[in-house]
Amino acid sequence: MRPYSMDLRVRVLAAIDAGDPTAEVAEAFTVSPAWVRRLVQRRRRTGEVEPRTAKDTRVPKLAAHLPRIRELLTATPDMTPAELRVELRVAVALSTLWAAVRSLGYTFKESHPGGRAGPAGRAGRPRRLAAGGRPGPRPDPGGVRG
């Protein structure tokens, strides 16, 4: 979500300074009363009204293991995430491991033996069973009957 613009912040604070109640100011500018109160409090405490920048201070859990992950996947490209977790000897969720693998530019893609015989579509859908437990007639495709 994007922060409110400086123009809106200045107009809200001007309305508050003019003596308008918080609820009326919030309704007039379609913001929440809580946001108006926090903005006024912040200006009173620090003198700042600008939006703060978001800081992502999270450190990936597997950052230290990235070189080893790359080495394992290069040596054994068909390794599953569960096998990779065992090999690394780490107790993390598979989703955490997926994120680390994606950050290296790898993906886990399984190829099933035999694959798919044809394109997905109507041909592969099962027909409904008639009352006697046997497949009913296929719908008439239209056109000439013989």
In a domain, 67, yes or no: yes
Encode the chain (146 residues) as per-residue pLDDT tens digits: 789 999 999 999 999 999 999 999 999 999 999 999 999 999 999 999 999 887 777 778 888 999 999 999 999 888 888 999 999 999 999 988 888 888 888 876 655 665 555 566 555 555 555 555 555 566 655 555 54
CA 139 centroid distance within chain: 41
In a domain, 111, yes or no: no
In a domain, 115, yes or no: no
In a domain, 51, yes or no: no
Structural domain range at position 86: 63-103
In a domain, 22, yes or no: yes
In a domain, 72, yes or no: yes
| Number of structural domains in the chain | 2
Q: For the chain, give percent helix, strand, coil, nearest 5.
A: 45, 0, 55
Cβ-contact 28, 68 below 8 angstroms = no
> Phi/psi at 39 (nearest 5 deg)?
-65, -45
